C-alpha cells in the first residue's frame, strides 16, 4: 500500500465531518506512542510553551542523573538517547525559540557533566555538532533573541 501525500490527505479530511475526524484522530493515536505524544502536546501543552520547555528540561535533568558513568560507552549511548528524545520533543513544538533553548540547555548539561566529555572524542564531536547546529538556528531568529542566545552560545564555546 502506498501512502497518500499530505495534499491528498488534506483534501479528503475537508470532506469529513467533525465526528469522523475525531474518530480518525483517536484511531491514529492508538497505533503509535509518538502520535499520542504529539496529540497530547497539541491539545494540552501548545498553549503554554514556557511550561512545556520547563517540563522537558526537568525530564532532561532526570535523564542526565540516570546516566551510567562507569564507562564512556554507556555515557555515549545515554547522551544519544537523551538527544533523540529532545529532538522528538522539539519536532512536536515546531517553534524555533523552543528548539534553540532546549538545545542550549542540553549543551549546558553536557558541558557540566562529569566525567568530562573532553576526555572522549565522539562526545566532544557530538557537542561541537550541536553548537554548530544551534549557531545556524540562531541566525533565523529575531535580532533581540539572536543577541541573547548568542551570549549563551559564547559561554558554551
**Tell me, what's the pLDDT at 156?**
86
**Tell me, what's the pLDDT at 1?**
82
Taking alpha carbons only, the member of 98, 94, 102 closest to residue 130 is 102
Give mean pLDDT in consecutive 10-residue pieces for the chain, a chain of 157 residues.
88 91 90 90 91 95 94 94 96 93 95 90 94 93 89 88
Task: Give me 33's grid cell.
Answer: 506512542
> What is the residue extent of each domain of the chain?
48-156
Amino acid at each position: 500500500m502506498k501512502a497518500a501525500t499530505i495534499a491528498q490527505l488534506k483534501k479528503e479530511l475537508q470532506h469529513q465531518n467533525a465526528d469522523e475526524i475525531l474518530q480518525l484522530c483517536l484511531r491514529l493515536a492508538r497505533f503509535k506512542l509518538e502520535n499520542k505524544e504529539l496529540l497530547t502536546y497539541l491539545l494540552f501543552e501548545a498553549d503554554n510553551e514556557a511550561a512545556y520547555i520547563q517540563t522537558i528540561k526537568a525530564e532532561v535533568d532526570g535523564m542526565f542523573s540516570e546516566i551510567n558513568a562507569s564507562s564512556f560507552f554507556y555515557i555515549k549511548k545515554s547522551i544519544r538517547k537523551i538527544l533523540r528524545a529532545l529532538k522528538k520533543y522539539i519536532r512536536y513544538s515546531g517553534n524555533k525559540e523552543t528548539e534553540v533553548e532546549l538545545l542550549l540547555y542540553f549543551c549546558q548539561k553536557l558541558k557540566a557533566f562529569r566525567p568530562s566529555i573532553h576526555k572522549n572524542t565522539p562526545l566532544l564531536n557530538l557537542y561541537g555538532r550541536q553548537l554548530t547546529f544551534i549557531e545556524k538556528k540562531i541566525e533565523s531568529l529575531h535580532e533581540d533573541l539572536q543577541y541573547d542566545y548568542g551570549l549563551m552560545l559564547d559561554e558554551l564555546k
